[in-house]
Each structure stands twice: as structure tokens, then as C-alpha cells.
Structure 1
Amino acid sequence: MAEIDRWWNLHPDLLYQITEHLYFYDDYIRLRLVCKEWNSKLSSIPHHKRNPWLLLPGTTHDSSLNHILDKEQIYHVMFPDFDINDNLIYGSGYGWLITVVISNGAIRMLNPFTKSHLDLPPISTFPDVVRYHRDWWHVGEYVLVELSDGSIYTIDAISFHKYEIWKIVISSPPDNEDFMAVAIYGECGNLAVCKLNDKRWTDIPMEEISPLFQDVIFFQDKIYAVDFDTNLYEFDKKVIMDELGKKPRPQLVPLLTSIGGICEPPPPAKLATHYNCSMNKYVIGCVDGSLLMIVKHDDWAMKMLHICNKFDVFKLTKNSKEWSRIHSLEDYAVMIGYNSSVQMFPGKSPYCKANHIYYTDNQVVLHTPGEPSLQDMGILNLEDTKTNKILPNVEWVCPPTWLLP
């Protein structure tokens, strides 16, 4: 009996060594539940799994991956009630995934490590939706208004659920009281926001025609967004939160001057005129308070496939009025794609290296969501500008994305 009782007092280092040989999260949960002492010693997320992870939806059970990656690099996670053919990933942050259910337009947040989930307002509540007609097949069509010119048009529900959203980012884990989500949506790349438990998405209006936003982040109590022409926009998160909290809610239009808008610094190096739809722009907040803008160039090839062949990196320091081109991230790495664009300090991690750009493909205009397609994913070393492609010949139904616990 004494020998059995000794297990509860197992040294944490020995427990950690055991966890390093567990490749299913459910097995890790079972280990934590052996006794309350082990549960208190082991965190909800395995300590050796805190590196950035590339989520490969629906293919991690494919034995062919075992010939491409080491077993220790593959970590299996099962989602209850998750149909890979009926879900698309449009964002990730703070260990959470943001998915859209194609069949009904629901927007869900999922945590693959804790199995927690919650709902954000559905697609049918976006500001460009006038009404939704359901037919006898329970599919139907949407009546939409183009916010830039007021024109009315219709689209079938399934296509609308696939193409309405470009990207969703979150400000924090959802248990924070100031949680907020912001979405890039619609044909013109508008911005909409919601708080936890909101029933609808609320538009952030523009004084002029929509700038076609391509990326958005939360950074230092602000919302920063970059548009098609590489203009930078800044919005006050607190003001928006206050307005969302009012009952009944006023229109946000009169508050544009206090909420924010286009920033003073012009587009970096006036290169916007050379950029086109085959180039994605990303904005990233840095630990020193500055901002990065990354322009990802894609080569167009046969059958509308595209391969990233170049990155431009620009930096905007505090109180500066112009962007400067940089050629090194120094001790940091950045991760871009459907995930919230972030800067990371890799330290001595064997899985994430400094001065590298980790990217996944979010060129939604070039793919048919829900249909298998090749995705452009890779790791760029800025020191020698060499790119290591990730699983270049594998087709994905749901696009992979970076997941940062």
C-alpha cells in the first residue's frame, strides 16, 4: 500500500517526461485525472506543447504524414461534433480557433486543448444582411446590401457562408471581461465587431468607400488594420467597447472622429501602386511598441495556383511618420495567415527560430472553400531568404492555420 501511495508524490520532472511520450491530448487528460496532486502539477496544456503548432485539419490521421514528419512532431486532437467537411477555419488566437459552419452559418470558437467551445453571432447578423429567405430544403438565400453604394443583391446561403468572412481575430481569451472579436467581411472587406454574448455584429463604418481591409489586429488598446493599398488605420478599442455596451446602441457613424480612422503615415515607400490582389498585407504589433507591415508576394501559375516568392517587411516606430524597410527581425519571428498576426520571441525553442517568417495561405479568392486544394505554407529565413515549404503536395479541404497556445 505504501508503494502505491508514493505515486501521488511523483516528482514533477518525472511527470513531464511521461507527458513527452503522449501524442493524444485525451491521454494527457487521463494522466492529469489519476489523482488531484497530478492534476495540480500538470497544466491544462502540456508544457512541451506550448510552441506554435500548425493545425492540419482532417489529415493528421493519414498514415502518409508519418512518412513526412517525425512521430514526435504530430499531435492528434479530436473535436467532438466537428465535421471537417462542414467547417472552415477563419481565425485563431490565444489557443482558440474560430470556425464557420458552412451548412448553417454559425460562427464557433473552439479550444482544441481544453475542448471548450462557444458561439459568436452567426453570419446572418452581419451588417450587410437585409434578410434571409429559407426554402423547403432549409438552405435558401440571403438578400444583401452593398454598404459602399446601397445596391441590393441576392446570394445562395451556402456560398454566402463560405465567402462572407475573410478573417476573424480576437482581443483575448473569452473569459476576459473586455473580450472583443473583429471580422473582415463582405465583398469590400469591411470591419465588424462584437463582444461576448452579443447577438449581432456591429459595423465599423468608413467615411469613404470601403478600403478593402486585408488584416486586422488588437494592439495596446487599439485596433489596427491595413487595407488593399497598404494604408494603416487605427481605432480606439475602449470607445468601441463603450458604444457596444450602450442599450439601445447608437449608430457608430457620428463617432468616427473619436473611434479613429486612417493614420497619418503614408503607405510604406509608396509601393502600393505596384501591389495587386496576388499580394497579402499583414500588420503586426511588436514588444517595443512599434508596428510591422509584411507584404507577401505570390506568383500566379497555371490553374490559379500561387506560390509565395518574396516578402517585403516594413517597420513603423513610435511617433514616426513614415515606414522604413527592414531586412531582419533580429531575435524575433512572426507568424501570419488566418491566425492573428503575431511577433514571437523563440528563445531556445527547437521548433521556432528567430528572424523567420512562418506563413500559411489565406488567399480566399483563389480557392473554393470546402473543396480540396493545395495551400501555400512555408517558413522563410530572412537571413538567406531561403524558404522551406511545408507539405507542398497535400490537398486540404479546410485550410491549415497556425495555433498559438
Structure 2
Amino acid sequence: MIKYLDLQQLNASFEPALSDALARVSRSGWYLYGEATARFEQDFARYCGTAHCIGTGNGLDALTLIFLAYREAGTMSAGDEVIVPANTYIATLLAILRAGLKPVLCEPSPATCNIDTAYAETLITPRTRAILPVHLYGRLADMQGIHDLATRYGLKIIEDAAQAHGAICLKASQAHGTIPCEDFRRGCIISSESLRRGEEQPLRAGNLGDAAAFSFYPAKNLGALGDGGAVTTNDAHLATLVRAIANYGSTTKYIHQYPGINSRLDELQAAALSVKLPRLDKDNAHRREIARLYHEHIHWGRLHLRNNIAPQGIGADNVFHIFPVFSPHRDKLQQHLAAHHIQTQIHYPVPPHRQAALRQAYGMQKLPITERIHNEELSLPISPLLTDREIGKIIDCINSFIP
């Protein structure tokens, strides 16, 4: 059996460093807000290029805390609107709702499966306060277009980067090849050559808006051994509010300034993440290599399959948390692969607006692009530990499929 993702194998590949780090925390007697968490927050902020990182209990909390902090700051009020892609995991919408705000669902671009900025502009009203791009499947949304939109209308940009750890913002240029895009705040461009030499800090997911939320769910490209999340931002006031609200609304023990929640990244998870972070770029590069082999060797046209790879090819703006293929014969293809002992998953079988939890508010909306994606998407194995033999078997098996 080729598993979709073998977490036992993946975590074993970090031994003995992983067990050693966990043992140190266990012996320390300090399990929350200790050295391991502080070290990981510093390292992850440095990796993303942001001034601040605040560990949280999970990705849903991370996103919720950003909106709660904006409400405490007076930037947003109850009932204000946030434009969000309809094609996403339900947690993206739940975070907005938990903060007392209103999600406004935007259709994705059929080519990228990410939020369509032209469509998003038609949804802006006097109550719109933010746009929330989701870097779905590990591919960055159109951040240049989103920044242009946010600048014109005075909107906050909050990234849902739960699937995009390490993705680098790129800009296609015929003259210079594929290079990291403009740093929207400093107006500089990082050359691809200087990036290869390590002379410049790449502009990564988590540093492409006003704030970003990450999940460290075990199956993520950077995964913990349980739940975990983080908020990254360059806004010092927002960071202070997020940290306080996540700690029962407190900055001083037993003194509670805000109506907070309890959402903290614990020391064991932080220690595990610190072991894994130095290998993230290498693992992402291996995921891109697997994606390249799929892209080059699967018989896309004959099988009536599609993918969402950019026309200019596979670049660092996609870390392939998921390798999606789209087929009108999705269920039959999944059964074919299962019969040959290849596990796949569907991300996601039911779109948020069709879920029972949201049906009353959104069930009447017609979102044909989103619904087609959810009806046709199938995720192929793309673990960074897949062998050449396993990759070859997956490709051969797909190519033997008869639609």
C-alpha cells in the first residue's frame, strides 16, 4: 500500500533529534510559555520574515484571534464583512463567524482554484473591512492583485497560510525569468540569483499581508505531533492583542483586560516544530520535484484530467501541500487507484456553503465554479518521502485508467 501520507514514517525520519527534543521538554518541568515556544516563535518569525510570531493552539484559533484583535483595536465591528474564497476548508469561514463578522463568499479562478480578485471587487460594500486569501493546496493566491484591491478600497489583508508553509511570492518576468515579487511594503525586488546565493530574505507566505494564520496540524508541510498554530504579523499592536486574547485576555497574570480565550502552543509541540523547521525548504523542494514528475508524465489530455499548476511551470510559489487533479470521473479514478493499493484523499467533498452548519445562511447561493472543484478534486500522494519506485507506480496506474 502506498499511503496518502505516512505520518509514522515522516516523523521517524526526524529521529533521534525529535525524541531528544521532546525528552528535554518532558524533563524540564515547564510545559507552557517556556523556552521551546519562545525559540520556535523567534525562528518561525525569522523564517517568514515577520517581526512577530505568536503560537496558538491550532490554525482555526490563529485565524479567529486575528479578527478578535482587530475588533478590540476598533478596526472592525460586529457584522463587518470579510471577502473569503468559497473554495476552502470550512475553518476559514468559521474563524470569521466566531469573531462576529460576516463572510462574503467569492468564487475562485478556475485555473488556480484560489480567490478571483476581479470577482472579489464586485463584492465590496461599505461594510467590507478585509479580504482573506487562502493559499489553497500550497499555491499562493494572486497577492499582487489582492494588494492592488486592498489599496484601492482600504482593506486589511489576512492570509490563511495553513497549507503554504514556506511558499515564496513570485512574479513572472519574461526579461528576468521567475523572480520573487515586489515587497509591497518596501518596494524592492529580490533577484532570483541573489536568492540562490542566500543574499536576500525571500518574501514568504505569512509576510504578504497585514497578518497571517498558520496551522501545524500533523499532516501539514510543517506539522506538529498534535494541534498547533501561529499568527505572524509586522504589526506590533496587533501582535500584543493576539497574544493577550489567546491567554484569557491577559498580559499580567490574573489581570484580564480583554474577553479572551485559551489558545496556546505548548512546549512539546514547539520543540517538535523546531526540529522540523530547518528541513522545511528541502522537503518542499522534494514535493515540487514529485509534482514535476506528475505534471510531465501523466497523460492529462487522454484521461480528461486537469491540474492547477501555473502556466509558467512549477516554482517556489507552490509548496504542494496537496497535489490536486480534477476529473469528471473522480470517484471512478479513486476506486481504480485504491484497487492498485494507492491511497488518495478528496479536498474537499462538500463545499462550505453546502455544509449543514452553514446551509441556512449560504445554502441558497449558486457557486458553480466552487461546486465543480469540489465534485472533481482528487489529491494524489505527495509525501516528501515518496520513493522513485512509488512515484512511478502512481503515474503508471493513473495512465492505465480508462475514463
When normalised by structure 1's length, the TM-score is 0.24
Considering fraction of residues, name the structure with more strand.
1
When normalised by structure 2's length, the TM-score is 0.24
Larger of the two Rg values belongs to structure: 1
Considering fraction of residues, name the structure with more helix.
2
